[in-house]
Homo-oligomer: A and B are copies of this chain.
Amino acid sequence: MTKPIIQTLTVVGVGLIGGSFSCALKAAGVVERVVGVDLDADNLALALRLGVVDEAAPSLADGVGGAQVVFIAVPVGSVAAVVAQAAPFLPPGCIVTDGGSVKGEVVRLCDPLMPEGVHFVGGHPIAGTEHSGAAAAFAELYRGRRCILTPTATTDAAALELVRCLWQAAGSRVECMEAACHDRIFAAVSHLPHMVAYALVHAVAGSAEGEENILAFSAGGFRDFTRIASSDPTMWRDIALMNRGALLEMLDRYCTEFTALRKRVASGDGPWLEEFFHTSKRLRDGIA
């Protein structure tokens, strides 16, 4: 039998991310008891009934009072507010970590909120499905997936190590990097593509006014290409706001490329276009 690493884990926000973390650690036998906190009472009751958590806390204050580790799995724009609200009730020695997809701003806001003897470790598990809520949670979500932790120079080494062990127990491949580096990477490979797709859907739908056929013909590649434009609007609002700096840099970089391409389409520069498309293909095939 695996020796439990921790006795009590509190998960704030028992949805796909928080609930799956709970399920994974329970399945791995590294936590004795999971307490759930959720603004949505129905979701919390469901999480309890499904065994995603062992206990449903009546409030955030009650929920975190006996925790060794608190996992904040709320929309990234709300992480700091939840941490601020929980701070007075966090017991000494407690470790707080999160699962938000922007890290610089979260770490910058949360670190100073920690009471004496309580430590914060920023995290971002790279996993998800198109479903949400406690019913969507499952123990295998993180298996083989990356989880990025973003410690600072002042992050407690033991706290970092424990959080790393928990994610590894959940099946993740853990990597540490600076929060700013994380945010630049995800601005490029995730946040920019989402913005590009959202703008594309607007442009195409706008052009469809008075041209009904456009929607009929969009069933092919366009539908697949724009799948990510179906992502949760609130989540993406938060990401755009919280990773504004790195995202703006990528938006401008994209705009430069797009403008260059537009110019050569306008001038009918065949050799330049062929080279541009060829380079894209080579770069993209190199990634795949």
Contacts and interface: CB of A to CB of B under 8 A. Distances in A.
Interface of A: 126, 146, 177, 181, 184-186, 188-190, 192-193, 195-208, 211, 213-215, 217-234, 236-237, 240-241, 244, 247-259, 261-262, 265-266, 268, 270, 273-281, 283-288
Contacts of A275: 233
A262 to B, nearest CB: 5
A199 B254 contact: yes
B248 A265 contact: yes
Nearest to A212: B185
A128 to B, nearest CB: 10
Nearest to A266: B248
A257 B202 contact: yes
Contact of A258 (B213, B214, B258, B279): B258
Given A241-B270, A261-B199, A273-B237, A204 B188 contact: yes
B284 A230 contact: yes
Given A184-B214, A185-B214, A248-B262, 14 more contacts: A146-B217, A185-B217, A189-B218, A190-B220, A190-B222, A201-B284, A203-B254, A203-B256, A206-B257, A233-B274, A236-B273, A240-B265, A240-B273, A241-B273
A257 B189 contact: no
A278 B225 contact: no
Given A195-B261, A262-B251, A278 B223 contact: no
A90 to B, nearest CB: 28
A258 B255 contact: yes
14 contacts: A181-B213, A193-B225, A196-B258, A197-B225, A203-B254, A226-B284, A226-B287, A227-B284, A230-B281, A233-B278, A233-B280, A233-B281, A237-B270, A237-B277
Contacts of A273: 236-237, 240-241
Contacts of A253: 203, 206-207
A171 to B, nearest CB: 17
A245 to B, nearest CB: 10
B281 A231 contact: yes
Contacts of A189: 204, 214, 217-218, 220-222
A184 B211 contact: yes
Contacts of A217: 126, 146, 185-186, 189
A265 B205 contact: no
A221 B189 CA distance: 8
B225 A221 contact: no
A213 to B, nearest CB: 5
A198 B250 contact: no
B230 A244 contact: no
A197 B188 CA distance: 13
